[in-house]
Structure 1
């Protein structure tokens, strides 16, 4: 038994500079040279890259009890608190059980009219020959949908401030994760002052939302906030309510926002796939035209979304920390090792995907995968994303509305680099030109 081989043969700080410049390229090179697992040889801790489905299944599912959230989640918790994304052990189990019923398909279908209405209102404000910057527009649209659907709020101040908080919060978290030297938060740097202001704003905005809901006696609103208020005390448990709302607003809307951005970008560059998709959605004018039970009349739409999330997985990396020594392949993983399960690498692994860099929705016509952990757009194991169904529903409805109304023409290069923070963001603006279908 031996530890994973270190990559590459440079100093740790030289490697850190390359890793910070492009984590995905750095990890891709490491996997190509040494396979999986491979020690990433960084000064920010003992990190090994996992790019093999068997090994990912072992860490995330089969032996998940030996793996806890990585050290980086302490930085995530500075912004999101101790919600479902960061909680551990019994606390996580209790919170997951409390919220699970709200994310059953039958409950989520009750939210679809609000999603459809918000999307339709947005589409109605667009015109032929408009240039649409997808990365910013989809960010605002999906956050609006979540605010309308999960906490029934149309407060413009919440929308504006939460959008700013999401962007700054991600950069703040990732900068602390990737930096070996971290100043204590009490030191009044510019970033720290902005962080404290952001958290104070979040507390105030969420408190206002709770107060407004509590003032509606006998409200029959069914949403995430209603569930939280029915299970928790609005005053005593404010921090827990805040943490769960922040988690869903940040993590939930980012997945859908980036999923829509990358999907519309791909369609603009593949007019033949876009035309085939239009044939499926052209006559779906109202929400009632869709089969909301299983989207049986939107099979190709589903394939397009799945393939887009394969090529550009919004959650591109899941990190777990070994509590005790373990074995992966021929390597021994010592306690304390942090394992980067690269969703991006799994989704582009040439041993499991034919022509992995080609956008081909037909590969999802059937599910004859070689390994069930080769495709993990929402993670795997017991901590599989609770909001996966909502994200798919939302993207499906928005995609129907976009493609039925407009032909998309590319304005950005076909190949776009990455700015992988907690999510797989593009490193430049992503834009399309709209052309009315009718």
Structure 2
């Protein structure tokens, strides 16, 4: 490139020098130099015109023939043009493959801009959501999906968990929505048809609820007769007395299991919770502490700590059930001579209901599955302690009904902490000044 610039410089010098020499005999040396400069300018203007016509009128053709610096410029622009054309071709092919693969998907895919307006969607979105290519492009997503739950989900910007809703055009079609943020605050909305899974889950719930309900009557009859026979235990042979005790223990265990199954079914079916009221957390924790102490029979020490003045708004029966399950689990599994703390404390803008023990702890490999129904870390020990395997599942569903979530932290030999986290909107200030305000 430096050689070409030097060549252009010497060409300009030669033209100017030649013009000066031609004008010198006529005492018009400046005019000769000006003519030389005009000739140089005309040459460059001619090449510039050729470049303009090539780029605007014939961009697909080969560049004009030129030498020197202009020839090098034409060649470089032509090579750059070819590379850009090849890149654009590859991008178009990639976009075409993406669109074809999206069209082949059975799930709805909707692309939104940073304002939430519709940019593109596949044909599955037209079938599931009723989007129309000619009418809906550029519309805000909440103008078309108007369910308040979706609107809250969209504006809440917490997309860690999917949202299950019926289709806006067919209520028998159950969809699972998942939103993903990408790019410059743009969103990708995916909707999956889970109607079949939803029906299977509903059948499972109905089956469990019906079977549990049907088991209640015979178990009640059996327990009643066993209590009667226990009152007559002195008149029975010792072997029969031991058998009655075992039958009574197993009947009580079965009744507890049925009660937990019925409670879990009700929590799954009824997602509302219409009996919400501010709870006296100090009294609630003290009541659960007394129940846990009775179960412990002196094997552990149990204390209560209240560091949060606000009250939790919720169902006292359900919150007590969740807290009791956590406290009873700590009593059953922490071990002898351990300390258990029931705590109500602030957590960020919200609050935390916490059960902590310094017992044997849990291997972290088990933590993700602890809230599954009937999952047991140690099956033999859990059966011996009388647990049903449904306690943490009940806790999980109670928290879902109260906009809360469960966090578990534990390591072997370092105890375990179960935290029930509640948002600020589930709390109420019960101080006299706040009530007068």
Judge same fold: TM > 0.5, yes or no.
no
Whose radius of gyration is greater, 1 or 2?
2
Bigger strand fraction: 2
Q: Which has the higher contact order (CA 8 A, sep 6+)?
A: 1
TM-score by length of 2: 0.21
Using the size of structure 1 for normalisation, the TM-score is 0.21
